[in-house]
Amino acid sequence: MEGRDFLLLGMAGGLLGADRTAFLQSLASRPIVAAPLAGIIAHDLAAGLWCGILLELLWLMRLPVGGFIPPDDTLSAICAVLFASALRESGAAGLADACALGALFSLPLGYFGRNADLAVRRRNGKAYALAIRESGEGRVVRVGKSHLSGAALFFASGFCLALFLGFSSRHLGLFMGSLSPRAAPGVFGPIIFSAVLLCAAGAFLSGLNARRGLGLFAASSAIAALAAFMTGAH
C-alpha cells in the first residue's frame, strides 16, 4: 500500500464513521460492507470478504439501540483486513489463517473506537446544551451549522482512527509476518478459521430468541453436513 491508499482509507473510515450515527445510517458502515471496501483499498478483496463475514457475525447483535453504544465494528473491520492482508503479503499465513487472526486482532480496537465515539458524543452534547442556553437567552442559534459541525467531528474521528490504526495494523502485520515461519497451507489455517467462525456464529445465535436460534443452528448444521457430504461424494 502507498501513501495515497492510506489517505483513501482514512477518507473511507471518516465517511463510514459518520454513517454509523451522524449521517445517513445506510448500514454501509457494517463490517460486511466496510471490510470488503478496505480489502479493495488494500488490494486484497479476498481478505476483505472473509474478514467481513467473520466480524459481521461477531458484532451483528451489538446494535446502537437507545443509549447503548456498541464497539466500533467499522474500525474493527478495517484494521482486521489490513492486518490480514499484511500477513498474507509477508507469506506468513494463508487466507484462512490471516483472516481469523485479523478478526481476533481487531476485536480490542473496536472498544478503542467506542471510547472515541463517546468522546465525540460528549463534545456534541456540550454544544447542544450551549445552543439551548443561548436560545433561552434570546440569542440567534444557527442550527444547521451546529448539526454540520457535530457530523464533522464524527467524520474527523473516523478519519484519524482509520488512518492511524489502519497504518499501525498493516505494519504490525508485516512485522509479525517477518518473524513468523512461512505458512503451511491446508494444515493449520482451516482449524483456526473454523474455530473463529464457530465463535462468531455462537455470538450471533446468543443474541437471538433461544428457540429461533436453536432452529437456525440445526438448519445451518444440516445444510453444512449435506454440503460436506456432496463435496466428498464428488
123-142 confidence digits (pLDDT tens): 767 766 666 665 666 665 55
pLDDT of residue 208: 54
Confidence of residue 175 (pLDDT cuts 50, 70, 90): confident
CB atoms inside a 10 Å sphere around CB 141: 14
Tell me the pLDDT tens digit for each residue of 74-106: 999 999 999 999 988 888 778 878 888 888 888
Tell me the pLDDT tens digit for each residue of 47-75: 999 899 888 888 776 666 666 678 888 99
Does the global pTM surpass 0.85? no
Please name the amino acid found at residue 199: C
Q: Lowest-confidence range among 7-21, 125-139, 197-211, 218-232?
A: 218-232
Side-chain-facing half-sphere of 222: CA atoms under 13 Å: 6
Tell me the pLDDT tens digit for each residue of 6-34: 999 999 988 998 888 777 778 888 899 99
Side-chain-facing half-sphere of 218: CA atoms under 13 Å: 6
